[in-house]
Structure 1
């Protein structure tokens, strides 16, 4: 693999991570779930030792949550290319939350906000493009 191929993989994986938070904030759960492989594993930052396994179960876990206002900020992402079809990534995540507001109104921020944590990802190239094979969150501070 040459430097240009490695950089292209890094850019594709960075885009996947950014797209994930944007779709998550839009609460487009179907699109979020489709960023995982069919057999992916996901652990929320608040429960890093509890894995949700499989795309269908990941989708169900998102749709089961009550609606809320949220905004994720992702930073300090470093993608390490393993080979042409596998990569690992580490990102810092900041989550601001609030109660869902009426249309045209701003939500009130939740007292637990912001949450600061991380995501450690295993990424794979699939027929659908780069996808999360495993996404493990963690918190850096107690809410």
Structure 2
């Protein structure tokens, strides 16, 4: 079990990893070793995620989300397979942690009497400035 937050833990079996050849640093070694990691996590079939977290996660995933509701994270920045694997997992966990935070609901407020007064005073001042720009006989 991978502990994401105090209330959310994901089972290792829910993650699907595949290793492919990476582009980037490594010289000739890159052509011989599959060091890039593709980490797949099926949001819709995951029993570990509460429904509201899953919905927020789908919105956060953006282009990493497939039509089937699977997040695909590709990590290939590191030269070793192990470090790419750790990086991909950490990126997934960060996404889930971000989705686990409930957005605060906005409470509508009314402007105070003083702020209304300030707004009206500034409008009067601006109007008088613009009125002063007109030609003298334009009444």
Q: Whose helix proportion is higher, 1 or 2?
A: 2
Q: Which protein has the larger Cα radius of gyration, Structure 1 or Structure 2?
A: 2
Q: TM-score, normalised by structure 2?
A: 0.29
Q: Whose strand proportion is higher, 1 or 2?
A: 1
RCO greater where, 1 or 2, for CA within 8 Å and sep 6 or more?
Answer: 1
